[in-house]
Structure 1
């Protein structure tokens, strides 16, 4: 097992991988609660979606761990499930069964692009400075998510964002978790992020901010309401509206996963010669998960950026993904315990992980404006648009522009020009 997962090369251990895997699971366990809530508003059965979400996460995380040796958790995307419900079903009036079939087809296209190594080729030709910008931008984005979820930062009509109410119990608990976790990490305590979550959970239950679970074991809801509906709806998919929907699922899922892989590989120290090792198997695992998830009854999957919390806690290999899968399996039986893992508990981890990831921007050559402007655009637009994919797209549009301005057009890979045209067309269409 140690040889297969390269424990020696990546300087890790079973304990380190277990704590890292558990930390990632706790950071992304909210999807088991949020995904059924969001998709149920489209008319889907909440219980069936819960089971589909858990099983998809189990299979997806196992695939990427075993095939690609990456410490990443895969589950239904929190952004794409919102797009599925609010834009496609409620906004466009498309039945959820047909929309789910659109997810299935986009997943098949993902698999084909992965097998043909198109996705891997695109990721590997991204200039190294933009790779570091993606990792740093995701760091800001992750931290912003943590600050928002903890209500440390709230919306404001006057200034768009403002400080939240620090006297509020949940916000105070998140601040406590942030401080205690920071202290442990600064003092060099490995696994400080995980221990911070545990301590915050206990304190939250003691002071009454977090409800104690009413039971430990719960029943597993049936998949029958959603399982396999995509096959009966295939003839209804090929309409102009659904083609646009399929392309959007494809576009956002592609670059969300690309950004996550780049960020994870960079943070874990396994990015080599500006290339991501085992990118092909990792992308195949991700795309296969979308196909499986749509058949079971859930929206498009993605490699979760919360995996960086597990890496910060010590995860370095695919064994951590096996641990993640194991806890998702247990969650099917012990779902009532998930009520303890609230946003106040996971937010401090996301803020701290964001701080760690932002360090990658030090590798960018900020003295060259032809590099600095596209890099800065990528970084700043991720949190401001609340989308990893949009930040990447806008940065990739600016990169050929600045290079052409300096007559360095021959240094730009042809694929980057293709992406340039594709992104501009996409933004014109959705405007």
Structure 2
């Protein structure tokens, strides 16, 4: 996520390293590189210029902060200004209606239909709502079928009327169906076009007027950069939407849309899409995103994702096994599966402070655990429960059965041993020390 921008900003801010104080000359040199990095990320020229001018004014007025190194001070100023540029605080979603109606808008190919499903899944699991998806795209082939497939995947009802070609009538019928069947949230998936046109804008304006949604969201492909911002402005002029959804942030995103869209349309980014899975949706926190752009990671979001997968009963069972030295490969496999549920590996690594920089050039694949899982599945139940029984001949058999090398098998056993020792330490005083250390880091 924003790897190219992060790298260029890191180089720009590195200019101040070693300087004993902030001067007009070294600030100007640094901010020239910052502006160049923002322009390369497809941020609007005026926004990039205003951004660096604001940071410069603040930097030259910070003579009192003598305890900070110039580099540290500049990182803080850039981070604060990035946060402000992207919206400052996280924006909530309005669910006050009975039912709450959410109208999804955007161009074709922005990921609108998929994100409608992700939003429905989010509201169902995180907000305990009973959502209904309504298929109002009567133009794109298989659009209605796609929404039904998404609905089946997340176990959410979908309303459609294939014989009807009037999207306004379908939307109104969908809201009526929701009221009759106890759905307290209605998500209307509308048609997109390849470009903004008058017929499209008139149609969505008519739907908006007919159903009077509590939330109108504009879905934009974050990989399209400045074009996305211009499209958002065109939609906002007609719809006056309430917020923006940025999709495909797991791809090769330049970052221009995320950084400048709030400044152009004065509407907050509410959610982001971070992968293909239905769970790959996050609330947009400007401060956390600024941290990630500057390579500081996002520990808070990482902890939140871990807590979502935390099962108290399973944790108690695991604790007893560790205490009795009964921690086995089946337990190890469960831990891996929990990590996988947290999201794609590239995104998770980006949340660890400094990890992206340390692992620069390394390709992090989403199926990074596949060889470990293959080796564990190649073991007998007895071997999985009693890892100490795995001798040289068993290693060869397990490795051959998994289609992996003996060296990889040895590496797995080493990793397992290290994890077992760490978990054993967590049972004693080491756990308290670790928690104290983490609290200190958080502070």
State the TM-score, normalized to the length of structure 1: 0.25
Structure showing greater relative contact order (alpha-carbon pairs closer than 8 Å, 6 or more residues apart): 1
Q: Which has the higher helix share?
A: 1
Q: Which has the higher strand share?
A: 2
